[in-house]
Amino acid sequence: MAKIRTTLTIDADVLRAVRVRAARAGKGDSQMIEEALRRDLGLDLLDRLWARNDLGADQATALAVEAQHSTRRRQR
């Protein structure tokens, strides 16, 4: 996955905690922050679910369409 450089402003105590945890884990600050964001946003869960997914494209599309139709029926 492509990485993009960004600048953010965070509390000094938070950055200090990131640096300590990163050092203890043998990781960089950026990696530690990205992992925390992925966890908080639920992206790591989505990655794990996709990795376990064994549906083909046609099956996944059919399931998504059925879920959409089901939701629309409940809203009426």
| Sequence ranges of the domains in the chain | 12-75
CB distance 31 to 22 below 8 Å: yes
Question: For position 54, what pLDDT does the model report?
Answer: 79
Question: For position 72, what pLDDT does the model report?
Answer: 73
Residues 24-74 pLDDT 10s: 999 999 999 999 998 888 777 766 776 777 777 788 788 888 888 887 766
Question: For position 19, what pLDDT does the model report?
Answer: 97
With CA atoms as reference, report the closest residue to 8 among 36, 27, 43. Answer: 36
Residue 75 has pLDDT above 70, yes or no: no
Question: For position 41, what pLDDT does the model report?
Answer: 82
